Amino acid sequence: MKSNHIPLYDRLNHRISNLYSKLPGNNGWGRFHKSNPYRKCMGCGKAEPEISISGHGDGCKVKGILNEIKYYNNLL
């Protein structure tokens, strides 16, 4: 009988690619305006410098997805 087992490495890579496809915008980041050099989080709307100081907002979808991606990358 043929085994349908998919290796763990392939399953984790597939899971990571699915999570990246769930991120809104360009991997979760977007621009405020064309002339503004800072990016903003598409989930909570905070600017990049503000996130580096205080973190993402409460209930930010992007933060949760990025944490999952980091977790699965550590498993590889």
Domain that holds residue 24: 8-75
Residue at 1 is within a domain: no
* Residue spans of the chain under pLDDT 50: none
Q: What is the DSSP letter of 7?
A: P
If one counts the domains in the chain, the total is 1
Q: What is the pLDDT of residue 27?
A: 75
Instruction: Give the count of beta carbons closer than 10 Å to the beta carbon of residue 69.
Output: 19
Interval 14-34: pLDDT, tens: 999 999 888 887 777 888 877
53 lies in a domain?
Answer: yes
Name residue 40's beta-bridge partners: 30, 47
**Dist CA 67 CA 63 (whole Å):** 6
Please tell me the predicted confidence (pLDDT) of residue 19.
92
What pLDDT was estimated at residue 2? 63
